[in-house]
Amino acid sequence: MSAIGSDTGTTLDNLFGLSGRVAVVTGASSGLGMGFANALADAGATVYAAARRLDRLAALAADNPRLVPVRCDVTSDEDRRMLVDRCYEQSGRLDVLVNNAGKPGPPHAEDETVAGFASILEVNLAAGFHLATYAATRLPEGERASYINISSVIGLVSTAPIGGASYAASKAGTLGLTRELAGQWGRKGIRVNAVVPGWFDTEMTDGLFGNEKSAGWVRRNTMLGRGGNAGEIDGAVLFLASDASTYMTGQTLIVDGGWTAR
C-alpha cells in the first residue's frame, strides 16, 4: 500500500483500516444500514449488526464472518443496554456506533397523529440518543470512539410533497443532537458526526424510483441527475469511523448528489 506522506509513514490501511475495532450498526437488516455493516466489516471491524428482523441479519452474517447478528428493538432500553453490553462481554470494546435505525412518517402534516408523531421521534431520534449515552458510559477512560448519526436531506431542507413533518423533525433534531453530544464528549475521546443521505433506492423509499413521476422529480432536482446507487454512501461512514477523520467532530457530511446545494 502506498504511503500518504512519506515523512510520517501513514498508509491508507492505517487511515481507513478498522482491523481490531468493534462496531455497532442499528437498522442493519436492510437498505443503507446493511451496506454500512458490510463496509465496516470489509474494512476489518467486527460488526454487531442490530435490527428486529433476526432472520435477515442471520442471512447477512452467513456471507460475512465479521458480522454478528443481534436482535434489537432500539426503542427498548433493555435491548439497547444488551447490545452494548454484548460488545464488551464478547469483544471487550466498542469503537464505532452507527445510529441508523429509523422509520418514515406520513407525508402530509394533517395526517400526523399525536401518538404517531411521538413514535417517529422515539425511533429516529430518542433511541439513538439513549444508545449513544449508554455506550459513552461504558467507554473506558482514555479510550476513543466514533459515533455516527444517520440523518437525511429532509432534516436540512423541505422536500415536500415527499418527506413528512415528524420525519423532518426527527432528522433535523439528529443534527442538533450530533453537535451537542460532540461538544459534551469531545474531551472524553468521543467524536460525534452525522451523515446526511440524499435519495437512495432502499426499503424506506419504496416506490420512489419505481414511479416515473417521482423518479423524474429526483433526477431534475439533483445536480448529478440521478439518485444514489448502492455503496455510494458507505465511504462516508467508513471515513468517519476510521482514523482518517480523527480531527473531525460535530460535523455533517452530506452525500446527496448535490440535492441541497442547488
Residue 243 sits in a domain whose CATH number is 3.40.50.720
Query: Which residues touch 1 (CB under 8 Å, ≥6 apart)?
Result: 11, 12, 13
pLDDT category of residue 156 using cuts at 50, 70 and 90: very high
Query: Which residues touch 133 (CB under 8 Å, ≥6 apart)?
Result: none
CA–CA distance, 254 with 242 (Å, rounded to integer):
17
Lookup: cell for 84: 452494548
Q: Which of 48, 147, 167, 247 is the catalytic position?
A: 167
User: Given a cut of 50, is residue 227 above it in pLDDT?
Assistant: yes
Average pLDDT over residues 57-74: 95
CA–CA distance, 75 with 92 (Å, rounded to integer):
24
pLDDT category of residue 216 using cuts at 50, 70 and 90: confident
Q: What is the model's pLDDT at position 132?
A: 98
User: Given a cut of 80, is residue 116 above it in pLDDT?
Assistant: yes
Interval 104-113: pLDDT, tens: 999 899 999 9
Q: What is the model's pLDDT at position 10?
A: 66
**pTM for this model (two decimals):** 0.92
pLDDT category of residue 7 using cuts at 50, 70 and 90: very low
User: Given a cut of 80, is residue 5 above it in pLDDT?
Assistant: no
Neighbouring-strand partners of residue 191: 146
Q: What is the model's pLDDT at position 136?
A: 98
Cβ proximity of 17 and 41 under 8 Å: no
Active site includes 167?
yes
How much is the mean pLDDT over the chain?
A: 92
Say if 181 falls within a structural domain: yes
Write out the residue range of the structural domain in which residue 218 sits.
Answer: 12-257
**Residue of 80 and 221 predicted with greater confidence:** 80
Q: How many domains does the chain have?
A: 1
Q: What is the model's pLDDT at position 204?
A: 67
Q: What is the model's pLDDT at position 202?
A: 75
